[in-house]
Amino acid sequence: MRIAFVSDIHGNLAALNAVIDDIARRGVDEVVNLGDTLSGPLLPLETARRLHPLPWLHVAGNHERQVLRLPLARQNPSDAYTSGQLAVADKAWLASHADPCDPHLHRGEVWPERLGPDVALCHGSPRSDIEYLLETPVGEAARLATPDEIEARLDGRIPPHITLLACGHSHVPRSVRLGSGLLIVNPGSVGLPAYDDDHPYPQSTYHRIETGSPDARYAIAEKRDGRWRCEQVSVPYDHESAAQQADRRQRPDWAHALRTGWMPR
């Protein structure tokens, strides 16, 4: 079994197309999208319609929830722009994505016939779509979470028969194997390699996530000899075209992140 995991596309159609082409060359059995698919100042409508016909499995992220449930006046600029671009049918497609906090998703009960019974999914952590699972913001950066921090965020929601858990949200490509043998995979972000966030955390009121590269990211998990292993994939693409779209939308923060993988100082 080979599963490609993508996440955090954020309406970056050029990056998505590069990842689709790369996945097609690698002989995977399934592709799972872990959410935050459209929101941003780029091409949300075109991205949605590129994905519609593909036989991918989709999990919602926090931005899906914000676009679909928050009043427009309370949406941030990326979500509000996306809301204004989508037709009713596109929002219905977005609403069909699996709830990332659904306990059935954490127990491998949503798509066992396609992924197997030992694969669990979420967007942030199992208990929240806006909680990092593998990172902890400290000051203006985010470090690797400790095993105790990860276990606290798992919150006893992943049963022992689960051997692979895929998450997104932080945009950081990373895999961690716990002492129990559980492999946790974050494929990083297809469409946005850096961002900043002023959401308060115990040790941070503002932090940056930066990968230092404009490449699109995804991951392939393969089960071999009864154990999961992970390959993190970095795909170059025409990131300048995406940066220019951000420039046209008057989003210099996005444009800088897309060109460099860093946030402006």
Look at residue 211 in the predicted model and tell me its pLDDT: 98
Q: Where residue 127 falls among pLDDT bands split at 50, 70, 90?
A: very high
pLDDT at 79: 98
Residue with tokens 């932090």, as numbered in its chain = 207
Binning pLDDT at 50, 70 and 90, where does residue 126 land? very high
Average pLDDT over residues 85-114: 98
How does pLDDT run across 134-160, given as a tens digit for each residue? Answer: 999 999 999 999 999 999 999 999 999
pLDDT in tens, 187-213: 999 999 999 999 999 999 999 999 999
Which pLDDT score, from 0 to 100, does residue 250 have?
A: 97
Q: For 61, list phi and psi in degrees, rounded to 5.
A: -115, -175
Q: Which helix (H) or strand (E) holds 213?
A: none
Q: Which residues contact 212 (CB under 8 A, 6 or more apart)?
A: 193, 260, 261, 262
**36, two tokens:** 């935050």
Contact (CB, 8 A) for 165 and 125: no
DSSP string, 158-175: S-TT--EEE--SS--EEE
Report CA-CA distances (Å) from 115 to 11, 111, 183, 186: 26, 6, 15, 17
DSSP annotation string for 150-161: HHHHHTT-S-TT
pLDDT (0 to 100) of residue 120? 98
CB-based burial of residue 115 (10 Å sphere; 0-12 exposed, 13-18 middle, 19+ buried)? buried
Q: Where residue 255 falls among pLDDT bands split at 50, 70, 90?
A: very high
Alpha-carbon 165 to chain mean position: 13
Going by CATH, does the domain composed of 2-260 fall within 1.10.287.3510?
A: no
pLDDT score for 2 = 98
Residues 6 or more apart whose Cβ sits within 8 Å of residue 195: 171, 208, 209, 253, 257, 263
For 245-252, what is the mean pLDDT? 98
Tens digit of each residue's pLDDT (9 = 90 or more) over 162-186: 999 999 999 999 999 999 999 999 9
In sequence order, the 6+-apart residues with CB closer than 8 A to the CB of 33 are: 6, 7, 9, 51, 56, 57, 58, 59, 97
